[in-house]
Chains A and B, each alone.
Chain A
Amino acid sequence: MVKMTGAEMLLECMKKEKVSQIFGYPGGVVLPIFDALYKDPSLSVVLTRHEQGAVHAAEGYARTTGEVGVVLVTSGPGATNTVTGLADAHMDSIPLVVITGQVPTKMIGNDAFQEADIVGISRSCTKHNFLVRNIAELPRIVKEAFYIARSGRPGPVLVDIPKDVITDRGEFRYPETLTLRGYNPTVQGNRWQIRKAAQLMAKAKKPVLYVGGGVIASDSHGELAELVALSGIPVTLTLMGLGAFPGTHPLFMGMLGMHGTYAANMAVHHCDLLIAVGARFDDRVTGKIAEFSPHSKVIHIDIDPTSIRKNFHVDVPIVGDARLILSDLLEDLRKIRDEEGLTPLDSWHRQIEDWKEEHPLTYRKDPEVIKPQFVIEKAFDLTGGDCIVSTDVGQHQMWTAQFFKFLTPRTWLTSGGLGTMGYGFPAAIGAQRAFPKRRVLAVTGEGSFMMNIQEMATVASLEIPVKIIVLNNKYLGMVRQWQEFFYGGRYSSSFIGQSPDFVKLAEAFGVAGFRASKTDQVEEVLLKGLSTKGPVLMEFMVDPEENVFPMVPAGGSNVEMIFEAPPQPKAGKSGRREKDAVITA
């Protein structure tokens, strides 16, 4: 048996788990691990410039590859800086293993230098976490961490390793199997329930498939496509589900919910059967829950039993892996088709086409002022959709979700559940590391971008060719939109016109920068930016007061969509910006 240090053991464990990429930041107690990494060329480390960036990068890596993202940071502030990323991954079911250093076992609880109770702090924002208490249990815990992170409903797992465990020596034996008597996720769906679901689907006159990120996590987009081809059931996707079904398919209705399409929200409201697959009836999807899909029977397929009946009633719950369940469902549905036939959906399709025509996704074009939606449309046209796109959070995120047509799964990275500004750019870095040859776009706003702007140093130093699109409207746009609609146009703390010159800033970091200020410059800047080698920042000075439509006001029913700003008393508007400028100055 080989004796090795805890640090070396950790790296051996990672290799057994087929890890090749780590995102991290060194510090005191993890120095022995970074030293071991220095000697071991099989594991590559991306040094981000902030631990939060490392976690989001690992999320981007995990979401695009389907593998577990790995983060390595030090104790204390290194560990606490991962908390937002952990919470983000927890909400969006992203498999991560985050390794944090800890002060030596004997000093835990003594308020030692750079000590933080990260196991306590992260308990509610991880799927599970561990404190390794001696070197003997290190391999088992790492194995369990990877297994828990990627199985069932995926999520982040934190492993806290004290300094003395890192430096101790022990015999390395990686367990072949593991026994977690309290953890045994259901993967196979109940056959009887599936049959019931198939019968409902065969009989429904106005069915809708409401599909979320679970279909991407379980790689069941193929089964979904077959199911739609067989049944003709129209599809709406959640924000997390985009890419699970081609955005250009005639039976695709667009995203649903607060900024969903008119057709999708109308269809969900009027359907007689709602088939939720890997979605969790989030409040941004349902709007006023009492008026959500009021006429439908509900089938809910999810791997997490707690998702079922958490927010919404269900008639046929099916717990398990979406891929297995959808293929069973296909089998049953084919049988019904052959024996009894399926209900034709022609009039339902016509109804949906009418809704699509009644209120398509649209915006007012302008020959002078750049419309943000136009930038997204152009980016889609110029790339043919063949790229990975990440976003931050806010208006630009919704416009990208609406106007970029995602064609394949694992090409769309966004912070859905937690809504983390600062997610997108580092996530794009992770995606680009996973796919060095693919084109990766990070769409962001000047507000979100500032929250992890330090990662420009990361892309510059490692020549990670992420293409950053900053839609600069000089406001925290979504906040401003809500203030315009619901707070009498009082733009409190939402004006951020004093942002730095992003093009100059990019250049200072060593990133190429371009700017477009007029509509006719958009295509030129995009072409220039996309064809420039290495990391690029493209700043688009867009209409400051453009809004995201349609919109369901918070707490409203999904059929109460608005398509223009509600009438506002315009008094005081002229003095507003000046005042805001004073506040922000």
Chain B
Amino acid sequence: MAMYRASGLRIMQQLRRRIPAELQPLQVVKAAPALQTFTSQRWTSTTTTSGKHASPQVTTPPPRHDWNRAVSEAERIVGYPTSFLSLRWLLSDEIANVALHLRKLVGSAHPLMKTAKHLLYNGKNTMQAWGLIVLLVSKAAGHAPSVPDVEQDKSAGVLHSQRALAEVTEMIRISHLVHNSVVNLQSSTQAGQDVDTYDDMSFGNKIGLLTGDYLLGHSSAELANLRNQEVVELISSAVRDFSESEFIGERDEQNNPLPYKPGTFQRPSLSVGVDFNEHDVMTPMPIAQVLGNPEEEWECRNILNAGSLLGKSCQASLKLAGQSEELQRHAYRFGKHLALAWQACLDAEPFQCPQLPLDVTFSLVSAPVLFHLEHDPGMYSQLEAGKQSVDNIDYDKIHKAILAGPALAKTKELQRKHTAAALAVLQHFPATDARQALENIILAMQDL
């Protein structure tokens, strides 16, 4: 554990040196408090923490469900500064190179910059939480007695292979985010015609593409080293799901999703949820069956976009631990519902205040918009303005309309549904401090 702590600090210091100076103010100001809390907690808890004993803070849950606190508690339980899990890859030579190149892009409008900042810091520390969830689920489930001692990290109660898997999960997720920052420069598009910024954009695309590929390549190497082909299969299928998610439905020039025109699907679509074929990971999500039903369609889109990776990673982690198929399925469901609950929470966020904040937009396939379209199909005519670019849409107007309707309440309902489902699945796991930490995270999310 001491080693991990030391490496966390070292990573942070090295990162500071490597990150372009232009990004530094943001980096130092925003990340420093996190670092402080992280280090102080680590140091003070060293003596009290050992594998199974829950510290008093965990057994008496915080009175108010505070997100940051729930996450730090959880990190302590798995004995690893997971906030840095996703940043370790930044230290390779290739990425150091990228950091140099990124400097050229500072000040340009390339979305890669936004993604980079978002990765280094975001308001609710959510980016880092994924690997943490995988580790907590791993610890909550424990492992089969057949697993040899050398493969265990005794102090943290997870296997080394599970740690590697958690890291792979984050790398794949970031690679998808980075690949999604590529700008469409086809000559028929606005971005393709803008001569002034074309070179910047083209260069940003190159860096983004290579960085994403680097992460994918390294995840596949790490996966291979786990020496478990079922796990490789499962996680590869999650990569497939990510790419599939970017093809569903109509898109503007920059591939931002647009909702289907109400009435596109005449036949009554399924209202029971669909999911992957448990017996064949190659079979894609049968999304065509649910198109037109706002809730089910939203669910499918976001399973592909998020739930698949988190669910399949949790499942794969239990595979590594030699757990039963049944518990693996529970782990998948837990990850899926947690990701969906989290997505519903994010979708609702722009609608929490009566006036849409400046420079804030929202996805046109987010739950509130889809629910509102069902309630008032007439709003679609306003969304048609976004066919070329979603920037042409009057977000304020739509924001107002949605707030006046029932969509936000339905979104909250949706979040509660998935939160409850995640909590219910959790009951299949033995009561441990790790399970408690997962519950705390879910409850904290609800209060966000």
A and B associate: no
